């Protein structure tokens, strides 16, 4: 099976996706294909990777465009494929359950993941998240409101959170 790389333009810069068999393996705000592939541990990298045909799209690229057009839930149904420990898999599943516009502290994320004492492990799960945006690790912040880290830069994380908040506030008739 061949995995495909696609890069699309977004308001936060180029966004590259590595997809295989309809699932996103890795993604992020860069045009550097090597940086995307490097997000996967070597044992889990596809053996064959090709650039997608110019102009070809996928459900994942359509979902990214819809997300940026204001449909924050568009990314939720996109399949992802991640390989890791049982704790990592549980953490990544918990990340997918954080609704747009909500943020959790690393401590609250550890609790939601079922390991309340494992705050450092929770931060590591976020750091090792390969399919960024689809598994929204950008919604996890430090206690006290600091952004914490983000593989694609704190500026991107800040803009994602601000965009989600603004879209939800504009959709709320009480807001």
State yes or no: is 126 an active-site residue.
no
Identify the active-site residue in 137, 140, 156, 161.
137
Contact status, residue 85 vs residue 140, Cβ threshold 8 Å: no
HEC-encoded secondary structure of 56-95: CCCHHHHHHHHHHCCCHHHHCCCCECCCCCHHHHHHHHHH
Contact status, residue 75 vs residue 33, Cβ threshold 8 Å: no
Give 44's DSSP letter: G
Contact status, residue 134 vs residue 80, Cβ threshold 8 Å: yes
How far from the centroid of its chain's Cα atoms is residue 34's Cα?
Answer: 17
Taking Cα atoms as reference points, which of 6, 131, 129, 36 lies closest to residue 76? 131
* Residues labelled catalytic: 137
């Amino acid at each position: 099976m061949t995995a495909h790389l696609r890069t699309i333009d977004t308001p936060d810069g180029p966004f590259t996706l590595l997809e295989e068999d309809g699932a996103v393996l890795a993604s992020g705000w860069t045009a550097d294909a090597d940086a995307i592939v490097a997000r996967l541990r070597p044992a889990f990298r596809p053996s064959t990777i090709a650039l997608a045909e110019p102009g070809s799209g996928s459900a994942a690229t359509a979902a990214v465009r819809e997300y940026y057009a204001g449909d924050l839930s568009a990314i939720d149904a996109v399949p992802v494929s991640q390989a890791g420990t049982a704790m990592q898999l549980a953490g990544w599943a918990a990340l997918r359950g954080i609704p747009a516009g909500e943020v959790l502290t690393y401590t609250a994320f550890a609790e939601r993941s079922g390991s309340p004492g494992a705050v450092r492990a929770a931060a590591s799960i976020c750091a090792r998240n390969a399919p960024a945006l689809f598994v929204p690790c950008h919604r996890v912040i430090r206690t006290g409101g600091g952004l914490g880290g983000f593989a694609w830069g704190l500026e991107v994380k800040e803009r994602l959170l601000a965009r989600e908040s603004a879209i939800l506030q504009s959709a709320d008739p009480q807001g």
